[in-house]
A and B are shown apart, each in its own frame.
Chain A
Amino acid sequence: MSPTLAVQTSPFVDYVGIAPYLLLVVGMIVVLMVLPLLLAKTTRHRVKDEAYECGLPPQGTAKQRFSVHFYMVAVLFILFDIEAVFLFPWATSVQELGPIGFSGAVVFVAVLGLGLAYAWRKRVLDWN
């Protein structure tokens, strides 16, 4: 089965409206961020410039190593995100693809379901 060739008519023009909109938004953000610099008084002091830590002098640095758990969540997120991306083309044409396309998607989801089950079993999804 060879897919039908569709000729696209320069879809890029449809997206040009973003440019003036983006200018408005960025302009607003810049104005909002710059105005307090002009309007408000700024005083500096060594203690005042410290990061907040319940009113006590900060202990050590805030740049600490944190749990590898966040990293694993991020990797699992990427993998399932890619799964979703693979399924978007299927979802848009599921009616034309019919049962054959559906079984293809079932196999795809099932294989990744195994991965989810493994992560579940190995308690990656638990936080304590």
Chain B
Amino acid sequence: MSPDIAYFAATLAKIVAIFLLSVHVVPIMVILERRISAWVQFRIGPNRVGPLGLFQPLADLVKFLGKEDFVPAQANKVLFWAAPALTCLPPFLVMTLIPFAPPFEVMGRELPAVIVDSSIGIILALALSSLTVYGIAIGGWSSNSKYSLLGGLRSSAQMISYELALGLSVLAVICVSGTLNLSDMITRQTAFFGFDDATGNWAGWNIFSQPVAFLVFLVASYAETNRLPFDLPEAESELVGGYHTEYSATKFSLFFMGEYIGMLGMACLIVILFLGGWHLPGVAALDLSPNVFALVGLLVFMAKVGFFLLLFIQVRWTLPRFRYDQLMQVGWKVLLPIALANILVTGFVVAWS
């Protein structure tokens, strides 16, 4: 096998691996969420299918596939079918931009552990995740149900409001790291806490240099993925199911797939922007071979992402829901001004350094 073909095959394998990784996070999150929520509420939770109930998601999939595919008579058929796909696609696309590990080495060449190592990675990630809003708004509108319409509307207004806070908090991080490329952002956080000796720039994790941006981004990412305490769009007690009230079978599950992949993408972005990506203090000093180093980096990255995914679940089962007026006020009157002030303060410090 010629080196070129081997490298090409490795690239394809990488793409399939990242796809499978993204897909498999969904059932893992579902079973974790159900077990943890049961634990929080002193229930037992699903424990029948397989050891510890671990195969429950598989049983769920079979159930989803066997369910009747219901379409309301008054619904707009084309849009009703398109909405779940439109909700699911953008979060998946964001995953192509995430560098999961340091570059691997294949046939003496570097194989970056990211599908698209874009020079504008962070803006593109925000732009693509902003497209999720269409699936939700259209899903709510096309169902021709009052609950769905209200849920879809609330959700889209909420998502665009918090998207601003998200984008503006990222701006301050960009001021510090001076790049839009996600891989470069990680390599500029090599040290755990400290400055680069050569340039005098900050080289530690951005959570220490940008604590305000970190908090704003964290809060906004919960709203952006429609998770509690910001899950107004699907506030069960007021709106039945929200925008997916009329959906059944796998179309219903696609909305959830989009939500969970969206959470995965947000967790990855938090780790890349604020927690040094695959860096762990001490690992670089071990002087590992490139592939072992990449593998360790992958594990470190996944561990950090896993922490934030668990935090998503923990927050959901701990905090009560906001009221809608409070929700919009938090977005526009608290997070937005804080993010703007944070940009100016950061810009001031960086411009004079």
Pick the residue among A28, A36, A92, A106 that contacts B65 (CB under 8 A).
Answer: A36
- With A17-B115, A32-B254, A52-B245 as known contacts, state yes or no: A39 contacts B333, CB within 8 Å: no
- Count A/B pairs, Cβ under 8 Å: 200
Complex Cα gap A65–B92 (Å): 33
Please tell me if B123 contacts chain A, counting CB pairs below 8 Å: yes
A61 within 8 A of B: yes
The minimal Cβ–Cβ distance linking B93 to chain A, given in whole angstroms, is 7
CB contact between A14 and one of B116, B168, B329 (< 8 Å): that residue: B116
Contact of B340 among A29, A32, A66, A109 (CB under 8 A): A109
Write the chain B residue with the least CB distance to A20: B15
- Determine if B187 is an interface residue (Cβ-Cβ < 8 Å): no
Q: In the complex, which range does the number of interface residues on chain B fall in?
A: 35 or more
Q: A47 to chain B: closest CB distance in Å?
A: 10
Most B Cβ at <10 Å: residue of A42, A74, A102, A120: A102
Interface of A (DSSP majority class): helix
**Contact between chains at B96 and A17 (CB < 8 Å):** yes
Task: Let me know if A62 and B351 touch, CB within 8 A.
Answer: no
B221-242 CB mask vs A (1 if < 8 Å, else 0) is 0000000000000000000100
Q: Please name 21 pairs of A and B residues whose Cβ atoms are closer than 8 Å in the assembled complex, sorted by A.
A: A11-B119, A14-B116, A18-B96, A25-B19, A25-B88, A26-B89, A32-B250, A32-B254, A36-B250, A41-B68, A63-B144, A70-B157, A74-B160, A77-B161, A91-B171, A92-B174, A92-B180, A94-B350, A94-B351, A126-B325, A127-B325
- Chain A contacts to B: CB under 8 angstroms: 11, 14-15, 17-18, 20-22, 24-26, 28-29, 32-33, 35-37, 39-43, 46, 49-53, 58, 61-64, 66, 70, 73-74, 76-77, 80-81, 84, 87-88, 90-95, 97-99, 101-102, 105-106, 109, 113, 116, 120, 125-128
